[in-house]
Amino acid sequence: MIRKHVVAALILAVPLASGVGGSSASAAVPGTSSTAVYRWGVPGSLGAVTQMERTTPTAVAGIKGKVIQIATSNSDGYALTTSGAIWAWGVDNYGELGNGTTSPYSVQAVRVSFPAGVRIVALPDPMPFDGGLAIDSRGHVLGWGLDTSGDLCLPGPVELRPELLPLDDVTLATGARAHSLFYAGGKVYACGSGADGALGNGSKASSSKPVTVTGLPARTRVTALTSSWNGSGALLSNGAYYDWGYNAAGQLGDGRTVSSDVPVKVRLPAAARQVSQGGSGATNGQTIAILANGSVWAWGANRTGQLGDGTTASSDVPVPVHVPAGVTFATVNSGGYACYAIDRRGQLWAWGGNDYGQLGTGSGALFKATPADVGLHLAHVSSTARNVAGF
């Protein structure tokens, strides 16, 4: 059922994140100078990897250095440190770990092998399914892992180590399922599967070469890119948010359930400050946003309560998230069947589906339709499909 209504927003404060245990923005592993990174839920490539399944946050071993960014794909987790190194863990059927090997999976983090002289400065979040992306200090983007749909803009089908993509002056990137988005030289480009119009160029054709996303306002800077299963989005510097692609459950938030191969503007009560789009298949897909006035809104699929409004009715227009009384969300993140938020004190909250423990609460409940306290302090959280990580 698709629900259409708008009610009063909830006002939130300016973000202020604290770290694990509430002591700092990124807690150190005892006895080392490395950041504590946690994973939970379950990564999957050709199905769930039950050996890695965790219903509560579990520390990732092997990461060396202070972590400044984290990202997930459906099958892996990645952490960027101050030295420009990336550490990866999870499934490795297609070289997702980026170290020149393949293996069933790795619980311990391994270092991604970049060419000599390459220093990574940014991690896209989320990553393409079964693959990885990274932006270096010279504005180049590198990709590795599975590339059968051309989402890495490379010949493919598998890249065991990071390879340069044919784009320059890249400042933003993201990917999901079988497509990727890039902001390069003031334009948005897309590669990969054009299913449901995910490439945003007025066509449903696929392309292994970058194509220009059409229909975004000219002379307005893009500040963030979002992606999900057959879905894409762009947040502009004026707070306007446009999305395109799959829309069976109202994922585009435009009051319809018809997919679009060009960007459509989401009607929000105020300018958006942060937006996260999630979805891992045809039966889910939702977006959550924090607006400039502090309110939190969500739209799309809701069969497991992932819109956080206390119901399981999907909505093709934005609806307010039920933020707990006295709590102010600083950042939000959307996964497959679940969503996450960190409040201004660094406390982690989660809601939605919990069939693989992706809420991290240890509860056996199949879903929660409003935010639940996970009992962990973090600076950042990332989720793709049912795979979750944070630090």
pLDDT digits (tens, 9 = 90+) for 280-339: 999 999 999 999 999 999 999 999 999 999 999 999 999 999 999 999 999 999 999 999
CATH class name, domain 2-390: mainly beta
Write the DSSP string, 141-206.
EEEEEE-TTSTTSSS-SEEEEEEE-S--SEEEEEEETTEEEEEETTEEEEEE--GGGTT-SS----
Q: Averaged over 135-143, what is the pLDDT?
A: 98
Amino acid at 277: Q
Q: Averaged over 27-49, what is the pLDDT?
A: 78
Chain centroid offset of residue 239 CA: 19
Token pair listed for 50: 């039950």
HSE-up of 386 (CA within 13 Å, CB side)?
Answer: 24
* Helices (H) then strands (E): counts for the chain: 0, 29
H or E segment to which residue 225 belongs: strand 222-228
pLDDT digits (tens, 9 = 90+) for 220-244: 999 999 999 999 999 999 999 999 9
Cβ neighbors of 327 (< 8 A, separation 6 or more) are 343, 347, 349, 371
Asked whether the beta carbons of 108 and 90 are under 8 A apart, the reply is no
Token pair listed for 323: 């933020």
pLDDT digits (tens, 9 = 90+) for 74-106: 999 999 999 999 999 999 999 999 999 999 999
pTM: 0.92
pLDDT surpassing 70 at residue 25: no
What's the pLDDT at 363?
87
Backbone angles phi, psi at 239, to 5 degrees: 90, 0
pLDDT surpassing 90 at residue 141: yes
Residues in the chain: 391
Interatomic CA distance for residues 250 and 226, integer angstroms: 16
Is the N-terminal amide bond of 15 cis, ω within 30° of 0? no
